[in-house]
Each structure stands twice: as C-alpha cells, then as structure tokens.
Amino acid sequence: MTAAGIAGRAQTAGWRPARVAARLRRSWPSWLLILVTLLFTAPFLWVFTHSLESSAEWAQNKTVLWPHAPTLANYRAVLFKDGFLTNVANSVIVAAATTAATLVFGSLAGYALARLPMRGKSAILGFILLAGFFPLTAMIGPLFKVMSRLGLLDTLTAVSISDLIYTLPLATWLLASLFAQLPEEIEEAAMVDGCTRLGALRRVVAPLAAPALATAAVLSFILAWSDFTFSLSFLQDESHFTAPLAMLQLGQTKFYTYYNLTDATVVITALPIVVLVLVMQRRIVSGLTGGAVK
C-alpha cells in the first residue's frame, strides 16, 4: 500500500453514498476479477449441480439450476458399481510414472542444454519442442503396431511411455530455462571439489532447483492425466482404462446419455487436478516466473 493509496482510502472511508460510490469506482478491478472468475468457474458449477441430479429427475428433461432432490447416488454408482475408482487409480499410476520419467530425462537434458557447450543445441531443443506438436492421429496406427509387437497392448506402460510426448517438451524447455538462471559458481565449486557434472547436478543443483522441478512435475502430471488418445488406442480391458477414457464409456451408449452420471465422473476426474493446482498454484507461477519467461 503506497502512501497515495492510504491517503486515497482515507478519503473514501465512511458510508456516505458519495464515499461508497468512490470506493466502488476504485475497487473496479476486484469486481472485474470476480466476474471473470465466475465466468471461468460457471461451467464447473453447472456440471457439479447436475452431477447431484438423480436419474429420474434427469429423465424429465427439464433444466434446473439446482436439483429438487440432490443425491450422491451418481457418485456411488459410478465409483463402486462401475469401478471408476480403479480407473482413477490407473490415471494416478500413469501420470506419476510419466512425471517421474519426465523429471529425470527432462532435468538431465535441461541441464545439458543450459550449461554444457554443445553444437546443435538449438536443433536439439527445437526437436524436443516440435516432437510435441506432431499430429496425434497420424501417430496412432504406427504406434499401435509397435506396441502390439512389443506385447504392450492393454498395459498402462504403453500409455505412460506415449504420454512422454506431452510432457517432455514442456518440461525440458522449462527446466533448461530455469537451470540457466542458476549461478554457475556453485557447480564450479562442487566440481573443483571433485564432483562430476552428473554428481554436481544431483547433489548441488537439484536442491537449488527444487521449485523449478516442482513446477515441471505439476505441469507434467496435469498433461499426462489429460491423455485420452493413447488410452483409447492401447487399452482394451475396462479395468485398465484411465479416468478420461472411462468417463466417456460411462453413462453413454449410442442411444442415450445419462449426463448426470457423466457429470459425476467429470467432477471426480477433475478433483485431483483441482487439489493439485490449489496446493501448487503459487509454485507454478513462481516456477514460471523464475526464469522461463525472463
């Protein structure tokens, strides 16, 4: 709060209409922010309220803002009768595995790109980034063949490996930028003491770069969690499905869609991400601020 700000506040203190009006005028950014936040959250609210709608009420085909008889039956049905809990667990496994691999590969590559003199550095970084923009539909057929030959069909491994396409480009680029921001002296000191590059990375740089690694981990988790195409193509058994894939199977046939059931799965699928973002949002922003966008 600057001095001018404090002075301004004093001028608008009190409850006289003119002062209230003045306060509203000054706080317009807050109102705008609230409006924007509401606009972005509204679809979620809609989905949430309809996930509490019973199937009987849904069949009546009337739009409501809040169901007459809200019920948790949809969640129970989806989680326990349809085994959606297993699907969520599968998503967690896949996303965690992909994130772990991404962190290792990404920090190795990111460090090398940031610190070590390599010819063709731009080419390497360019390749890593552009690999993430290859059209997925064009990749499925060939990849399916490879997975089939390797006996990896219907395994979470196949999905996890393929998800690296989403996560590695962003993570590597992010970590490379962030590593470049760290002061070089610390590693040099460690190497003078007898560390190899790899050792320096592990012992000295990684702890310093923990915030950056956390950011990369969160973003990778979110991206791997969102995968649909690879799960759809490689998984056959419903108990192996990941959450986004199972979500489209549940509550939908050729003939009818129980949106109340599907909405319940949407809420459940989004929940871990919501929690993750809530906990890590400051980290995400500061991680990106740290150097990626400097």
Partner 1 sequence: MAANFRAARRVRRAHWFKARLALIGALSAVAVAACGSSSSSSATSKSASASAAAKPVSGQVPASAKQTIVFAVQGGAGASASFGGEGEFTEKEIVSFEKAHPNITVKPITISGSSVEVARSQVQNYFLAGDSTPDVIDSDQTWVAPWARAGWIAPLDQAFGARRSQWFPAAVAAGTYNHHLYALSWYYNAEGLYYNTSLVHAAPTTPQQVVAEAHAALQADPSLKAGFAFDGYKDEGLVTLLTTVLGHPIDVAHLDNPATLKALQYIHDLVYKYGVTPKAVVDWQLPATQPLFTNGQAAMLLDWPYVYQIAESKGSKVIGKTAYIPFPSVSGVPAAAVGGDMLTVNAHTKHMAAVIEFLQWLETPANQTARAIFSGDPPSLLSAYTPALFKAAPYFRQEVHVFKVAVARPVNPNYEQITADLQNMISSVLANQQSPAQALQSTAQQVAPLASSS
Partner 2 sequence: MSAVDVAPATAPRARRALRWRPGERTGYAMASPAVIALAAITAYPLLWNLWTSFHDVDPLTGGTGQFVGLSNYRAVFSSQTGLLAALMHTLIYMVVSVTVEMALGLGIALLLNRPMRGRALCRTLILLPWAVPTVVSALVWQTLFDPQGGGVNYMLSMLHLPGSHTVWIGATASATWASILVADAWQSTPFVALMLLAGLQAIPRELYEAARVDGASAWQTFRGVTLPNLRPALMVTLVFRTLQAFLIFDIIYALTQGGPGTSTQTISYMTYYNFIVSDNFGVGAAISIVMVIVCLLIAGVYRVLLRPST
Among 73, 89, 139, 208, binds partner 2 (CB under 8 A): 139
Instruction: Give CA 74 to chain center in angstroms.
Output: 25
Interacting residues with partner 1 between 81 and 120 (CB under 8 A): 81-82
Q: How far is the CB of 177 from partner 2 (least distance, A)?
A: 5
Q: How far is the CB of 224 from partner 2 (least distance, A)?
A: 10
Q: Does 127 bind partner 2 (CB under 8 A)?
A: yes
Number of residues that bind partner 2 (CB under 8 A): 101
Among 12, 55, 71, 105, binds partner 2 (CB under 8 A): 105
Among 9, 16, 68, 145, binds partner 1 (CB under 8 A): 145
Q: Does 253 bind partner 2 (CB under 8 A)?
A: no
Q: Does 77 bind partner 1 (CB under 8 A)?
A: yes
Nearer to partner 2, 17 or 203 (CB): 203
Interacting residues with partner 2 between 21 and 40 (CB under 8 A): 29-30, 32-34, 36-37, 40
Q: Which does 283 bind (CB under 5 to 8 A by kind): partner 1, partner 2, none?
A: none
Q: Does 153 bind partner 2 (CB under 8 A)?
A: no
**Where does this chain bind partner 1 (CB under 8 A)?**
56, 59-61, 77-78, 81-82, 140-142, 144-146, 148-149, 154, 232-233, 236-238, 241, 248-258, 261
